[in-house]
């Protein structure tokens, strides 16, 4: 170890209490950053996973162009058969797969009418790609693929003033442009927690939908949900390999299906960083104060060093190393403690009063698991290191202005 | 005769706000190589200012100063730092050792700045500390040494890289008379054995008695300059 490094290290311990206090401040912010960032990223995973499991799914096979312009004619041919083939593929074992058809209709009951989204679902397989079948507020979910029945969002039911057992009239456009109409009993009302779904979604069994809308055996989407969202790239590859060629079918992941969710996460991530940066800046100023004190009280010593032939840059490097060592001590402590806290909650889950009740209403877990990864753990400390080292440049640069004679006479 | 220091018409005026203080006036001086020169005079006479100018720590307001062949009044900051590092040694009144380094590390510090290899540094530091009478105390920090011992470390630090000139500003001011005498004997020994020119400032009659040339300043002017036997 060169004398400069040795000197920098020993200078830290001239006032151990001050060094420990400063290192503790850095450690505390680091701990907070490690925990909060891992928790924030974990909450995004939970948010994405939960949102996708309610209705959209992680991946959908659609006819190219349907996403941008959802016309009833833009179909996935032989949707049920394709979904069945996928379910039989060993590459998609443990993956929930269900075919759907989608259209728009006017829903009427008595004197009230509302525009609704109508979805044809496979009652047997829909529970593996959507939580709606488990979120029935009253009644039951759809029974058979060709049963003449419907389930309706709770808000829509309230708006239409209907309840389980009442009849619902659907009037829309069939695939060939003719009038599509049916009257079905409502067998259940669901409450997904997603306002749009609860206000405008009606689900029919897929065959009933196909008959009503003149779809033949076609659908509009095959919805897929894997046990773990992290496996999405592999899932997409496996699905793409199973798609029949020349039909214009594409596999779209959730980021394409609901870009709003990603934008919401990005906005939340950015606003989170405003708070983090404010926290870091406050701590950086208190650390800067320590650095400046440490330099000011050694003005005479620096004056002597300049007289002996040390350049201001050399002394600046010394001060920079002192700051670096101090920061690294704080970061190491903070990262160690932060990792311990984050690891504990990544195993046992983190919650706060009211979260479990809120999430439980929609069939979702009430625990957030911090996401431990190199990036989630190292990002906060790296930003702190950058800020603190930037701050340490100030006292290092002040040394450039020192005059050896004046410095040696400093009190 | 070869001169280590030549001052030609050197003046120094300190200006602060509207006030000017004439610290040195028209100093002309030649100090031959290997001389052992004492600058004496009352406080404020300009001793320290002259040492600072010769050491390149400050710039004269007018005049020329040549040290070891280099015009220090014309050099920039970087060149002056290099000159001080390689050709000058300094001994200060209050020792100015680095408190967190041991005696050996303090001596090595200057050599490290010079880029001397670690093994050579260590060897030279050990030898010079032995020579100044600090054998066995190399690993003590300044706080664990007496004032006289600390000043010996400072002398070892000043002399270790064989400078042409050592400037000592009141080196015995904080020492008792016995310790001061020992230190002066050491400086004279270094002057003879290491072939280094010494210029030191003092108020102390005992210290003046060790010099071979005594220059007296008063109000920034040389009022007496005599060789001593």
Q: Read off the pLDDT of residues A269-323 as tens digits, 9 standing for 90 and up.
A: 999 999 999 999 998 998 898 888 888 889 989 999 999 989 888 899 899 899 9
Do A330 and A217 fall into the same domain? no
Judge whether residue A151 has pLDDT over 90: yes
Token pair, residue A285, equals 């100023």
Residues of chain B with pLDDT under 50: none
Any domain includes A254: no
The verdict on A94 and A170 lying in the same domain is: yes
Across the interface, of B99, B105, B113, the residue whose CB is closest to A309 is B113
List all residues 6 or more positions away from A274 whose beta carbon is below 8 Å from its beta carbon.
none
Q: For residue A239, is it within any domain?
A: no
| End position of a domain, from candidates A174, A205, A225 | A225
Q: What pLDDT is recorded for position B87?
A: 93
Chain B positions touching A306 (Cβ under 8 A) are: 57, 81
What confidence tens digit (pLDDT) does each residue in A93-105 have? 899 999 999 999 9
| Residues A33 and A92 reside in one and the same domain | no
Summarised one tens digit per residue, pLDDT across range A323-340 is 999 999 999 999 999 999
Q: How confident is the model at residue A190 (pLDDT cuts 50, 70, 90)?
A: very high
List C-alpha distances in Å: A14 to A34, A317, A367, B145. Answer: 30, 18, 46, 18
Residues A45 and A69 in one domain: no
Do A148 and A41 lie in a common domain?
Answer: no
Minimum Cα–Cα distance from B48: chain A residue? A405
Whether residues A20 and A96 fall in one domain: no
B contacts of A10 (beta carbons < 8 Å) = 100-101
Residue B6 lies in a domain: no
Residue A146 and residue A182 share a domain: yes
One domain, residues A212 and A70: yes
B108 with A307: Cβ contact below 8 A = no
Q: Is the pTM of this model over 0.80?
A: no
Domain that holds residue A336: 3-52+261-408
Highest mean pLDDT among A113-122, A368-377, A395-404: A113-122
Three-state SS string across chain B, please? CCEEEEEEEEEEEEEECCEEEEEEEEEEEEEECCCEEEEECCCCCCHHHHHHHHCCCCCCCEEEEEECCEECCCCCHHHHHHHHHHHEEEECCCCCCCCCCCHHHHHHHHHHHHCCCHHHHHHHHHHHHHHCCCCCCCCCCHHHCCHHHHHHHHHHHHHCCCCCEEEEECCCCCCCHHHHHHHHHHHHHHHHHCCCEEEEEECCHHHHHHCCEEEEEECCEEEEEEECC
Question: What are the backbone angles phi and psi of residue A61, rounded to the nearest 5°?
Answer: -95, 125
Would the pLDDT of A173 be above 60? yes
In total, the C-beta contacts within 8 angstroms joining chain A to chain B are 64
Q: What is the mean pLDDT of residues A381-409?
A: 87
- Asked if residue A391 is part of any domain, the answer here is yes
Interface contact flag, A10 B101, Cβ < 8 Å: yes
Report the pLDDT value the prediction gives residue A411, as an integer from 0 to 100.
60
The domain containing residue B99 runs over which residues? 33-57+75-227
Q: Does residue B26 fall inside a structural domain?
A: no
Per-chain mean pLDDT for chain A: 91
Q: Does B206 touch chain A (CB under 8 A)?
A: no
CB A323 within 8 A of CB B120: no
What is the nearest CA distance from A293 to chain B, expressed in angstroms?
17
Residues on chain A touching B96 (C-beta within 8 angstroms) = 300-301, 304, 307, 408
Counting residues of chain A whose pLDDT is more than 90, the rounded percentage is: 65
Mean pLDDT in residue range A185-203: 92
From the CA of B191, how many Å to the nearest CA of chain A? 19
**Paired strand residues for A171:** A106, A181
Tell me the average pLDDT across A336-348: 95
Tell me: pLDDT of A1 over 60. no
Whether B87 contacts B65, CB under 8 Å = no
Based on the fold, state whether residues A220 and A78 are members of the same structural domain: yes
Same domain as A63, residue A210: yes
Q: Which residue of chain A is at minimal alpha-carbon distance from B51?
A: A405
* Domains of chain B: total: 1
Residues A215 and A315 in one domain: no
Same domain? A99 vs A19? no
The pLDDT, as a whole number, for residue A361 is 66
Domain CATH for B184: 3.40.50.300
Looking at the partner chain, which of A10, A300, A308 has a beta carbon nearest the beta carbon of B90? A308
Nearest CA in chain B to A14: B100
In chain B, which among 57-76 make CB contacts under 8 A with chain A? 57-58
pLDDT at position B116 is 92
Instruction: Using an 8 Å CB-CB cutoff, list residues of chain A that contact chain B.
Output: 2-4, 6-7, 10-11, 13-14, 300-301, 304-311, 314, 404-405, 408
Q: Please name the helix (run of DSSP H) or strand (run of DSSP E) that holds residue A104, with its range, or none.
A: strand A96-109
> Within a domain: residue A237?
no
Tally of domains within chain A = 2
3-state secondary structure of A50: helix
Q: Which of A225, A250, A273 is the endpoint of a domain? A: A225
């Amino acid at each position: 170890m060169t004398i400069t490094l040795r000197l920098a290290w020993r200078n830290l311990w001239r006032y151990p209490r001050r060094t420990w206090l400063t290192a503790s401040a850095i450690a505390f912010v680091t701990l907070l950053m490690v925990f909060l960032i891992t928790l924030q990223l974990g909450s995004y995973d939970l948010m994405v996973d939960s949102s996708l499991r309610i209705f959209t799914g992680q991946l959908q096979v659609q006819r190219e162009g349907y996403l941008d312009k959802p016309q009833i004619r833009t179909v996935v041919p032989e949707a049920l058969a394709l979904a069945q083939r996928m379910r039989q593929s060993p590459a998609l074992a443990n993956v929930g797969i269900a075919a759907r058809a989608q259209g728009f209709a006017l829903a009427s009951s008595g004197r009230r009418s509302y525009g609704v989204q109508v979805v044809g679902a496979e009652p047997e397989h829909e529970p593996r790609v959507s939580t709606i079948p488990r979120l029935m507020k009253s009644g039951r979910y759809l029974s058979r693929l060709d049963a003449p029945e419907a389930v309706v969002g709770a808000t829509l039911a309230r708006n239409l003033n209907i309840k389980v057992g009442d009849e619902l009239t659907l009037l829309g456009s069939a695939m060939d442009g003719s009038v599509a109409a049916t009257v079905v009993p409502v067998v259940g009302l669901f409450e997904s927690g997603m306002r749009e779904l609860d206000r405008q979604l009606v689900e029919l069994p897929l065959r009933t939908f196909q008959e009503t809308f003149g779809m033949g055996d076609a659908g509009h989407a095959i919805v897929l949900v894997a046990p773990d969202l992290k496996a999405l790239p592999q899932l997409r590859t496996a699905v793409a390999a199973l798609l029949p060629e020349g039909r214009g079918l594409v596999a779209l992941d959730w980021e394409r299906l609901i870009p709003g969710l990603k934008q919401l996460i990005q906005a939340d991530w950015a606003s989170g960083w405003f708070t983090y940066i404010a926290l870091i800046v406050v701590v950086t100023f208190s650390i800067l104060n320590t650095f400046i004190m440490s330099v000011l009280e050694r003005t005479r010593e620096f004056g002597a060093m300049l007289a002996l032939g040390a350049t201001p840059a050399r002394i600046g490097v010394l001060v920079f190393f002192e700051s670096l060592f101090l920061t690294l001590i704080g970061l190491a402590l903070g990262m160690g403690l932060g990792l311990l806290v984050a690891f504990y909650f990544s195993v046992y889950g983190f919650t706060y009063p009211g979260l479990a009740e809120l999430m439980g209403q929609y069939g979702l877990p009430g625990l957030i698991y911090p996401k431990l990864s190199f990036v989630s753990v190292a990002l906060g400390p790296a930003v702190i290191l950058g800020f603190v080292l930037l701050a340490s440049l100030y006292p290092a640069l002040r040394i450039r202005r020192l005059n050896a004679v004046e410095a040696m006479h400093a009190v | 005769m070869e001169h280590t220091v030549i001052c030609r018409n050197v003046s120094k005026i300190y200006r602060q706000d509207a006030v000017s203080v004439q610290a040195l006036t028209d100093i002309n001086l030649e100090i031959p190589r290997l001389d052992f020169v004492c600058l004496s005079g009352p406080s404020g006479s300009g001793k320290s200012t002259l040492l600072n100018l010769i050491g390149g720590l400050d710039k004269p307001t007018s005049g020329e100063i040549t040290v070891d062949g280099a015009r220090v009044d014309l050099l920039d900051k970087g060149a002056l730092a290099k000159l001080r590092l390689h050709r000058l040694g300094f001994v200060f009144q209050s020792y100015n050792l680095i408190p967190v380094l041991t005696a050996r590390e303090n001596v090595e510090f200057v050599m490290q700045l010079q880029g001397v290899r670690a093994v050579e540094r260590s060897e030279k530091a050990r030898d010079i500390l032995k020579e100044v009478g600090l054998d066995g105390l190399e690993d003590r920090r300044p706080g664990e040494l007496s004032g006289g011992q600390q000043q010996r470390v400072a002398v070892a630090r000043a002399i270790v890289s064989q400078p042409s000139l050592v400037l000592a500003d009141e080196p015995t001011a904080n020492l008792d008379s016995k310790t001061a005498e020992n230190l002066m004997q050491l400086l004279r020994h270094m002057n003879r054995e290491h072939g280094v020119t010494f210029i030191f400032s003092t108020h102390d009659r005992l210290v003046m008695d060790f010099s071979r040339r005594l220059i007296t300043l008063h109000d920034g002017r040389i009022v007496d300059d005599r060789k001593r036997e």
